[in-house]
Structure formats: C-alpha cells, structure tokens
Amino acid sequence: MPAAQARPEEAGVTGNKRDNAPRQPPGATGDNKMMASPPTAALAEFPAGALSLGATPPSRVLVVDDDADMRQMLDDVLHRSGFEVDCVDGAAQMREAMARHRHDLVLMDLRLRNEDGLVLARQLRQVSRVPIVMISGSSDETDRVLLLELAADDFLIKPFGMRELVARVRAVLRRYEQAGAPAVAAPAQVQAPSNSPRLAFGDWVLDLGRRELRSRAGELCALTQGEYRLLETLARQPQRLWSRDELLEQTRSADTEVYDRTIDVLILRLRRKIEPNPRHPQFICTERGLGYLFQALVTPL
C-alpha cells in the first residue's frame, strides 16, 4: 500500500536549527530535521504569482539567515507570493543590501551563526523603522516578549507553515501602510488633550502624526511599536490611573499576542529611555496594587 503523502498545507519549517547532531539534507528524517519536506514540496501550494495582490509595485523583503537551505526556501516562497527578495547571511551583507535597495520588511533568524539576531535587530531598529519579523526555534514566553518589545514587529515560531509566513509578512506590511493612523484605534474615551498632533512633556515631544518621540533638541528616541503605543496611551490622558489589564487592551495589536508580563517589560524599557532617573521615575509612576499613571505635565504644541 503506498505511503500516505503529506498534505501541501502541512509543509513548512520545524524545529531549532541549532543542534549538536550533524545537519541532514532537506527532507531527511530524524530529530534534528529542519524542514518537514523538501523545499519543492513546501512550494507546491504556491504557483508563481498566485498570491500577488493588486497592481501596486511589489514589496521588497530582506531575508537574513545563515542557513543556505532556509534562505533558498524563503526566497522561493516569497517570490512566488509576489515579493521582491534579497537574501543575505549576516550583518555585513545586510548592511550592503540595505545600502543598495529600499526594503519594506526584514525577515531575520534569531540564531545566526556568528551573531545574535536579537542584537542585530535592535541595532537596525535604532537607525530604521523598517518592519522586522523574527524567526525563532524557541517557544518560551519570555523570549517572545523580548522579541516583540526590544525590536520585532512580529515573530514566527518553528514549526510554521508557508501560508502562515506569507500571511504574517502581509499583516505587518498592512500595519505599516496604515502608519498615518494608530496601529490600534484608540477608544473614544482615550483622546489627546487637544487635536494637536504633538504632545510635549519634560524634555520630550511626542509626534502623533509621525509616530515618533524626539527630545526638544530634535534627537530621535527609538521606540518599538509596543513602546510607542503604550507611551501614546499614557500621554493622551495624563494623571489617569490605568490598571495593567486596561493598558494591555490599549496596546494590543490586531496581529500580535500580548501577555501578562508585556506591560511590565514595556514600562521598564520606557523608563530607561525617557526618565532622567529610571530608578526614581517622574513620568511613569506606579500606584502599588492599582496600576500606573503618567504623572507629567503634558502640553499640546
């Protein structure tokens, strides 16, 4: 009786590529296998151009992965889905590629051979607002929180299917296309003190139109999407006491999960970036057992 064939939608990426055992070729069996099937099987559900939408110029994706087989598979899948793709294996090639082309999204593996993908993503975030999607073999909640709040806009946990990959890439790009409006629509009760697109507090100016934070001297303070959403929520209603659950709801992204520890991580990192003394915060204050409030004088500009 012929062996049952894997359904096309089951083809994808599985496992953590960092394993002490020798790496086997794509499609091989064993605990250290990286792909559930050869790249050609994973691509069977993606006829060329089948998932390309609309007549707008294709988005360009930069793939950063030191595994040649993974780069080839991601390159093929994204090309067949209507994207332009550049593939590199590390930081040096990434910088060269970004100097040559404008990229709409970076797809990066967390575990690079000679570099820490998270460190590389953070360095990129400090100089660019390009969307970053990380690929990780870890399903640990702390890792996921750190990925999202330190640098990444979204992440993929192995194993994942090719349809999920393309869907997440498209979802992140959609969010950035709508960057003129908040990623999460604020409820009616969370309004700025005026219709002004800029709010000043302390030595900072929060530009709601550009979705960025700068010092009064004009120096940009790099914020992750989660950090920006939290700061905007707090600055729009200074002196209001927020519970953790309320802040979770306000900062929730339509395409990203949030966890109980997310707000605590965001608060900690925002304090390090905006407070004169993070150990004795002047702006984001804690009311023990109740929540947080933005105890700053906010002035519309």
* Phi-psi label, residue 101: left if phi above 0, alpha if psi -120 to 50, beta otherwise: beta
Does residue 5 fall inside a structural domain? no
pLDDT at 179: 54
Within this chain, do residues 279 and 146 fall inside the same structural domain, yes or no? no
Q: What does pTM read for this prediction?
A: 0.48
| Distances 194 to 115, 212, 236, 240, 301 between C-alpha atoms, Å | 46, 18, 9, 16, 9
Does residue 2 fall inside a structural domain? no
Say if CB 126 and CB 222 are below 8 A apart: yes
Rg (CA), the chain: 21
Within this chain, do residues 106 and 217 fall inside the same structural domain, yes or no? no
Q: What is the CATH number of the domain that holds 58?
A: 3.40.50.2300
Within this chain, do residues 165 and 205 fall inside the same structural domain, yes or no? no
**Residue 162, domain extent:** 12-17+24-47+54-177
Q: Among 177, 210, 230, identify where a domain stops.
A: 177
pLDDT at 124: 84
pLDDT at 262: 76
Within this chain, do residues 65 and 35 fall inside the same structural domain, yes or no? yes
In tens, the pLDDT along 244-274 reads 888 887 776 544 455 556 788 889 999 999 9
In tens, the pLDDT along 136-180 reads 887 677 667 767 776 788 888 888 899 999 999 999 898 877 654
- Based on DSSP, count helices (H) and strands (E) in the chain, helices before strands: 9, 15
Does residue 3 fall inside a structural domain? no
pLDDT at 252: 67
Cα of first residue to Cα of last residue in the chain, in angstroms, is 75
Within this chain, do residues 172 and 42 fall inside the same structural domain, yes or no? yes
Residues 64 and 105: their CA atoms lie apart, in Å, by 11
Does residue 4 fall inside a structural domain? no
pLDDT at 8: 40
Does residue 193 fall inside a structural domain? no
Number of domains making up the chain? 2
Within this chain, do residues 215 and 109 fall inside the same structural domain, yes or no? no
Q: Identify the segments of the chain with pLDDT beneath 50.
A: 1-10, 16, 18-55, 180-195, 254-256
Within this chain, do residues 283 and 156 fall inside the same structural domain, yes or no? no
Q: Which two tokens stand for residue 274?
A: 């905006």
Within this chain, do residues 112 and 67 fall inside the same structural domain, yes or no? yes
Within this chain, do residues 131 and 235 fall inside the same structural domain, yes or no? no
Does residue 248 fall inside a structural domain? yes
Within this chain, do residues 35 and 143 fall inside the same structural domain, yes or no? yes
Within this chain, do residues 37 and 69 fall inside the same structural domain, yes or no? yes
Q: What is the DSSP letter of 10?
A: G
Q: What is the CATH number of the domain that holds 203?
A: 1.10.10.10
Say if CB 205 and CB 215 are below 8 A apart: yes
Does residue 89 fall inside a structural domain? yes
Residues 170 and 107: their CA atoms lie apart, in Å, by 12
Does residue 260 fall inside a structural domain? yes
Within this chain, do residues 40 and 90 fall inside the same structural domain, yes or no? yes
Q: Among 142, 177, 212, identify where a domain stops.
A: 177
